[in-house]
Amino acid sequence: MTLRGATVLVGVASLLAGLVIPVANAQQASGPVKAVQLTGLAGVKDNAKGTLSVENGQLHFVHGKASTDVSAASIQDVVTSADSQRAVGGTLGMMSMAAPYGGGRVLSLFRTKIDTLTVQYRDADGGLHGAIFTMPVGTADVIKKELVAQGAHTTATGDSTPAATSSTSPKEQKQ
């Protein structure tokens, strides 16, 4: 095999691996999911890293040695969405902005996809709270389905059909 043939073979293998890996990551089974709680849970610092799961009718977030539970029945709304975040962040990302000729700005173009889960719930005293979590792609919908199955409410059904559709064509409406 020639050098060119080997290069083509490696390129095709890399392309196929790049197509298969994101699909495999998106189809994760239910269970504990690595998540970052951006804000909202009582007693948990912002940007706390931990694991998120749904167990026995509770949304369970474990961070460090502590854990926080929110009853699925007290959840009034669960919303999921897709988002992205900077791949190079922190001190390195800030220092790269000082690179000459705008070279550091190129690093801000590299982004990783994430899912977000937003939960609106009532505490034992009736106070309204909200919590926002980020997690790997494909996991927020699984957690949302588990929460709804265990008694949580949601206003977003995920149905992409328009709310009001007309059975008449535009030509009939003009006449």
In tens, the pLDDT along 126-137 reads 899 999 999 999
| Mean pLDDT lowest among 13-17, 53-57, 153-157 | 13-17
Closest CA to 138 of 23, 47, 50: 23
| 131: DSSP letter | E
- pLDDT tens for 71-99 read 999 999 999 988 777 666 666 666 666 66
Q: Which of 58 and 156 is assigned the larger pLDDT?
A: 58
Class for the domain spanning 28-157: mainly beta
CA pair distance 154, 143, nearest whole angstrom? 13
Question: What are 144's two structure tokens?
Answer: 């949302």
